[in-house]
Amino acid sequence: MKKGHQVTMKEIAKKLGVSVSTVSRALKDSPELHPDTKKRIVEMATSMNYQYNLLAQSLRISRSKVLGVIVPELTSHFFSSNISGIQDTAYKRGYNIMICQSNESFEQEKANLKTLVSSQVDGLLISLSRETKSYEHLQELYDREIPFIMFDRVTEEIPVSKVTVDDAHGAYLAVNHLLQQGCRKIAYFSGPTDLYISKKRKEGYLEALQEFGIPETESRVYVTDLTEEMNRKVTMEMLAEGDRPDAIFAMIDPLAIDVMIVLKENGIKIPQDIALAGFTNNPTSAVVEPSLTTISQPGYEMGQLAANHLLDQLDEIVPDDPQSFILLTTLVERNSSQKSTTA
Amino acid sequence: MKKGHQVTMKEIAKKLGVSVSTVSRALKDSPELHPDTKKRIVEMATSMNYQYNLLAQSLRISRSKVLGVIVPELTSHFFSSNISGIQDTAYKRGYNIMICQSNESFEQEKANLKTLVSSQVDGLLISLSRETKSYEHLQELYDREIPFIMFDRVTEEIPVSKVTVDDAHGAYLAVNHLLQQGCRKIAYFSGPTDLYISKKRKEGYLEALQEFGIPETESRVYVTDLTEEMNRKVTMEMLAEGDRPDAIFAMIDPLAIDVMIVLKENGIKIPQDIALAGFTNNPTSAVVEPSLTTISQPGYEMGQLAANHLLDQLDEIVPDDPQSFILLTTLVERNSSQKSTTA
DNA sequence: CATAAAAGTGAAAGCGGTCACAATTGACAA
DNA sequence: TTGTCAATTGTGACCGCTTTCACTTTTATG
């Protein structure tokens, strides 16, 4: 299918017997143009159904007014909230966004980066894939002075601005809450140990334990690769052990829900036998039975903040030096952890 | 923040003492170039860290290799699945996607259309907002011969290709299943009546009833605007009536879940007192208690199909005449409707 | 060997805009 | 009358790449 012909400034100019620059000025509402001329041109443009060509403008002014976004996956609620926040603020500030998903693959992430750079995006918002363990591609981006910032899945290796949530503190809140409920044998279900969030949330977990006088030697950490299969397996293994925990803090909600299902299958009462808390506050968490206590992460706000900060940097409203924004998480108390009221 | 300098073909050409056209040909792997020259150029480009400028190419060849996507909202699981499918297939075929969300607003949808057209996208994939009741903006797009297709939220008014699910049949499946379970007083909880899917699903609902000899006069239709507030209100009103239904088919899962919550609050047993079925198969549906019987819509596949078809049209692999693709839905039987086994 | 055909390369004209600079005009002061 | 200045509008180079056409050099062919 061929795109139909698009009207250009040249054609408007010819019809009106003026020059293209005059047309350009009229459509830009330049003050140095005679109002009458401007009016004639604008009217003609409208009647000819003229559509501005952003591509041509971008090439000329070397600014595309497009932001590139790379996320691990589009379908996760958290990331789609991020994107929603990014899109809304970008749009408000006159920018479009181009989106790629790495599908948690390092190679894909590098490829995405390449096409977005080729597309001359003015800046990038990146959330790293799970596989990403080396950062040369980001370093290269940095060396090339292409503005970008990272959000949620970040690395400390590259000195650019970052937007994250206070993972450690969030975990602390969850575990502290479980401790308040009287639990003392609290397990931490972690994703892959090299993940930034696995580490940070473990920090918060340990901190809360310590505050209640529980030494690190008594911590109980279970690691899964976050596939449903592995989640089930690890939970089963935990159940098979002699000394069961009385509470579980799972690194992310989907993991918590997989754990919940296995516990229920095994006749274990939640929260009476084992209390449970997650992290993220996915919509699902509110409707599972029992509803899941979790840590709420402001995904949309994160996207907004990230986009606004990047645009501020681009527009030089704000200096270039890297800043770290850490958004607050809050505890969402639901039934899966209410020992005191249900016991 | 200023973007760093980007290497151009001109610079490569100067360094090597060849012309830009030769560089262009080398990087395009043109066969009419001497292999040695080609090699020298490619190596130089690599060493200089050359990055192709897609913008310039687009302007020159009047093809941007970008697809525009407009969805009502990014955060709904169904639409993010669509987008994921679109993104993956576009990417595979050398296209990028530019995404806008209308936030269910007609004005926003029109504005989105404008910026995407200005950005010179090669084609568009559109899912209409709830507010969209007039179609001049689409007609204009059509008249301008800008290739586009619609998916999920479509209108019959514009003769372009469409990708939808068999809404009527899906609804039929759900209601038929409820009838099979022995229910006879089945209510249909509908969204705004002018929505395409509200109508289509009602058709299926009525068809199933009719097949069981239940006349349309005995149909029970409740309409909500799909806000949680209204959903609750309508459910309460239904409960207040004398002759309660023994089953409810809700137009979409979120509505079904709102209904479920109100029913549970009122001590009504699901499915014993009232059976329940939804539509969409959101991830949430699997984990609510009781798990929700629903109709599965292949969101990702829909995105793939839509993108592939549009690209086929663009690449003239397939004729331009509008086609309608109707994807199959399937019944996902879960606990919220199992009268026979639980009763 | 002459000559035609093929191979390899370059020059230049755009794609649709922007913008620095130049040119034109008329008003007004000197 | 002439110069100056502001207000308007035009000219043309350019953004980075593609592609036609022409040109030069090989190579093949009779």
pLDDT tens, per residue, chain A with 343 residues? 778 899 999 999 999 999 999 999 999 988 888 888 999 999 999 999 999 999 999 999 999 999 999 999 999 999 999 999 999 999 999 999 999 999 999 999 999 999 999 999 999 999 999 999 999 999 999 999 999 999 999 999 999 999 999 999 999 999 999 999 999 999 999 999 988 889 999 999 999 999 999 999 889 999 999 999 999 999 999 999 989 999 999 999 999 999 999 999 999 999 999 999 999 999 889 888 899 999 999 999 999 999 999 999 999 899 989 999 999 999 999 999 998 654 4
How far are the Cα atoms of B83, B152, B188, B281 from residue B297, in angstroms, in the given order? 14, 10, 19, 7
A122 touches chain B (CB under 8 A): yes
The CATH code of the domain at A9-52 is 1.10.260.40
Q: Which amino acid is at A142?
A: Y
**Boundaries of CATH 3.40.50.2300 in chain B?**
65-165+299-327, 167-297+331-342
A8 touches chain B (CB under 8 A): no
Distance A5 CA to C8 C1' (A): 36
Please report which helix (H) or strand (E) contains residue A310, including its range: helix A299-314
Instruction: Among 1.10.1060.10, 3.40.50.300, 3.30.300.30, 3.40.50.2300, name the CATH number for the domain at B65-165+299-327.
Output: 3.40.50.2300
Question: DSSP letter string over B161-186?
Answer: -EEEE-HHHHHHHHHHHHHHTT--SE
CB contact under 8 A, B147 and A316: no
Question: Which of A96, A99, A257 is facing B115, going by the closest CB pair?
Answer: A96
* Mean pLDDT across B175-190: 96
Q: pTM of the full predicted structure? A: 0.92
* Mean pLDDT across B10-34: 92
**Boundaries of CATH 3.40.50.2300 in chain A?**
64-165+299-326, 167-297+331-342
From edge to edge, which strands make up the β-sheet containing B275-277? Answer: B220-223, B186-190, B247-250, B275-277
Strand B66-71 versus strand A324-327 pairing type: unpaired
For the stretch B12-22, pLDDT in tens is 999 999 999 99
CB contact under 8 A, A289 and B284: no
Per the CB < 8 A criterion, the answer to whether B128 and B153 are in contact is yes
Per the CB < 8 A criterion, the answer to whether B290 and B334 are in contact is yes
Dig out the tokens for B277 from the structure: 């079925």
Using CA coordinates, name the residue in chain A closest to B82.
Answer: A75
Please report which helix (H) or strand (E) contains residue A198, including its range: helix A196-211
Question: DSSP letter string over A249-288?
Answer: EESSHHHHHHHHHHHHHTT--TTTTSEEE-SB--HHHHHB
d(CA A54, CA A232): 51
In chain A, what residues touch B287 (CB-CB under 8 Å)?
A: 257, 261, 284, 287-288
CA end-to-end span of chain A: 67
The CATH code of the domain at A167-297+331-342 is 3.40.50.2300
A228 touches chain B (CB under 8 A): no
pLDDT of B179 over the 90 cut: yes
**Boundaries of CATH 1.10.260.40 in chain B?**
9-52
CB contact under 8 A, A144 and B2: no
Could you tell me which of A230, A283, A286 has the C-alpha nearest to residue A258? Answer: A230
Q: Burial-class residue A295 by CB neighbours within 10 Å (0-12, 13-18, 19+).
A: buried
- Shortest Cα–Cα distance, A124 to chain B (Å): 12
Q: What is the helix, strand, coil percentage profile of chain A, to 5?
A: 45, 15, 40
For A64-165+299-326, which CATH superfamily applies?
Response regulator (3.40.50.2300)
A291 touches chain B (CB under 8 A): no
Enter the DSSP assignment of B195.
S
In chain A, what residues touch B300 (CB-CB under 8 Å)?
A: 75
B280 touches chain A (CB under 8 A): no
